[in-house]
Each structure stands twice: as structure tokens, then as C-alpha cells.
Amino acid sequence: MHLRRRLHDILEGNQPNDRTGNAVRRFLVALIVLNVTATVLETVPAVAAYADSHLHWFERGSVVVFALEYLLRLWVVPLGAPDRSPTVARLRWLGSPLALVDLLSVAPACLPWLGIDLRSVRALRLLRILRIARLGRYSQALQTLHNVLRDRAPDLLSLLFLLLAMLVVSATVMYQFEHDAQPQQFSSIPATMWWGIVTLTTIGYGDMSPVTDAGRAFGGVVAVLGIAMFALPAGLLGAAFVEELGKARARAAGPQAPSAACCPHCGKGLHETPAASPPA
């Protein structure tokens, strides 16, 4: 039981200051990165001809390590769900996205007769980095991002609805302007929405462009509105990040911190009044 608990802490990163756990997780991340690199280099004819045998044995060794990790995680997973039976906990883990990615990463060694090379799927194992994200400053950054998106979800959805409404209106108007002049390009309102997307996002591929005077004038207006539309969520998220960082600093200051609201930039109270200057 002690060994299984120890393995669970190492694999899941439950103890951030554990040197052994940190070393094991860093080794796994390095091995994943090397596997992705090897998969990319195998597509280079010169590299494949020179180091084919080395890459082959490296692949086999990596599969052994990943298979061992997969089995160990399957063995210790009930410790992470004490309210469920071991069988239920293992079945739920087997159906999780990360467990499926782990299984696909070792599938080439188990299913060679299918003639399918699944090694590229191992790139998805880089999602394991999210398990290490609890370490150091990364955990604070991810928590801040999560809090910002959660708190600003209603505002972001409202902006998304406004953007969709603008897309429909702009595509409808542009269809009326350009359909007669370019019936092949602007054949319908859904087809014109492609022009609306690339214009509102200021990409401007140029595969669909207005030729009439009214269409060009309206297209310029839509392009300017697109810049404004994407500036709104940027400003919203920027202000939300500043607010969240201020809250994080207040939590780090502890209960001894003053109760008055503080500026997230300088830390001074927002309601402080300047000291009166002495009389002349």
C-alpha cells in the first residue's frame, strides 16, 4: 500500500517539493519531446537513411517506458478516487482523454499488423505538461487564466453573439451589392459569409473581394468595424487579468492586509486622499 501511494504521488505530482517526483515527470516530458522530434526527423530522407536503426531502437525503448507508465497509472488510480470502488475508478480512468492518448501512444507496438503508424499521436502526450503545470509559477498562471475566463464568460458570450450578428448582417448586405456583378463568387448569403469572416478578422485572403462601388465602400466599413470588434475582447480580458492579479496579491498579503481596495499596479489604496500640504 505504501509503494502504491508513493507511486501515485510521483505520477500525479501531489508533492511539488518531491525531488524524485519532479525528476520522474521531467524525464517523461523530455522523453515525449524527443519522441516527437524523432517522429519529425524520420520524415527527412537523409536522417532516416543515416539513423534508421537508432530511431527504431529508441522507439522500442520509449514504448516500453510509456507502457510501464500506463500500467502504473492504472494500478494507482483508485487512490485518487477513494469514494469509488477500484474497478469503477479504473474504468472511468480508462475512458478519460489522457488515458486514451496514453493507450494510442503504445498502440504501434501492440498492433503492428494493421499497418498503421500511430506514433504521431504521441505528440498529444504533451498534454502531460498540464500535470506539471502545478509546479512553480505555471500553476499561478493557469489558475489566473481559468479564473479570468470563468468570471468573464457572460461578457465573452455577449461579444460572440454580437460578432455573429454582425457577420450575418454584413454578409446579407454584401450579397445584395455583389450578387449581380459576381454571381459565382457571391452566390448566396452563406457563401458570402466567408468574405465576412476574412474581412471581420482583417485577414483578407483576397479570394472574394467586392468590385462594385457600393460593395467596396461597405467592405471598408466592415473592415474597420472588425478591428473594433476584436479590440473589445482584448480590452475586456486585459482588464480582467489586471483585476485577477490584484486579487492574487491581496490573497498573498494575507489577513493582515488593509481592507481598502488597492491599485493592482502600485499597491496604494484607491480611496486614499493626498496629505494636506502645509500652509505657506
9 in a structural domain:
yes
**235 vs 227: CA distance, rounded Å:** 12
**32 vs 161: CA distance, rounded Å:** 40
Which residues lie below 8 Å from residue 119, measured CB to CB, with a gap of 6+? 35, 39, 59, 105, 108
Q: For residues 75 and 3, is the Cβ–Cβ distance under 8 A?
A: no
194 in a structural domain:
yes
Assess whether 9 and 111 both reside in one domain.
yes
Digitized pLDDT (tens) for each residue of the chain, 280 residues in all: 688 888 888 877 767 678 888 888 888 888 888 877 887 787 788 887 888 788 878 878 888 888 898 899 889 888 887 778 888 888 888 888 778 877 777 776 665 545 555 555 555 555 544 444 444 443 466 667 778 888 888 888 888 898 899 999 999 999 999 999 999 989 999 999 999 999 988 887 878 889 999 999 999 999 998 888 878 888 888 888 888 888 777 766 655 544 445 555 555 555 545 555 555 4
The CA radius of gyration of the chain, in Å to the nearest whole number, is 28
- Choose among 146, 135, 201, 139: nearest CA to 170: 201
Assess whether 120 and 166 both reside in one domain.
no
**26 vs 45: CA distance, rounded Å:** 31
Axis crossing angle, helix 45-76 with helix 19-41, rounded to the nearest 10: 150
Domain count, the chain: 2
How do residues 69-120 score in pLDDT, each as one tens digit? Answer: 889 988 988 888 777 888 888 888 888 877 887 777 777 666 554 555 555 5
213 in a structural domain:
yes
Q: What is the CATH number of the domain that holds 195?
A: 1.10.287.70
Q: Which three cell numbers stand for residue 83?
A: 469514494
Q: What is the CATH number of the domain that holds 65?
A: 1.20.120.350
247 in a structural domain:
yes
**Residue-level pLDDT at 266:** 55
Assess whether 177 and 231 both reside in one domain.
yes
How do residues 155-168 score in pLDDT, each as one tens digit? Answer: 888 888 988 999 99
**Residue-level pLDDT at 109:** 63
Q: For residues 60 and 46, is the Cβ–Cβ distance under 8 A?
A: no
Q: For residues 167 and 193, is the Cβ–Cβ distance under 8 A?
A: yes
Count of C-beta atoms within a 10 Å radius of residue 85: 10
Assess whether 127 and 40 both reside in one domain.
yes
266 in a structural domain:
no
Count of C-beta atoms within a 10 Å radius of residue 125: 22
Assess whether 84 and 202 both reside in one domain.
no
- Beta bridge partner(s), residue 269: 262
Assess whether 238 and 173 both reside in one domain.
yes
Tell me how far CA of residue 68 lies from CA of 14, 55, 177, in angstroms: 20, 20, 64
Assess whether 29 and 109 both reside in one domain.
yes
Assess whether 80 and 27 both reside in one domain.
yes
Query: Identity (one letter) of the amino acid at 169?
Result: V
Assess whether 99 and 157 both reside in one domain.
no
**150 vs 153: CA distance, rounded Å:** 5
68 in a structural domain:
yes
**Residue-level pLDDT at 118:** 53
Residue 126 DSSP code: G
Phi/psi region, residue 15 (left: phi>0; alpha: psi -120 to 50; beta: rest), is beta
62 in a structural domain:
yes
**Residue-level pLDDT at 130:** 47
For residue 100, the enclosing domain spans 2-132
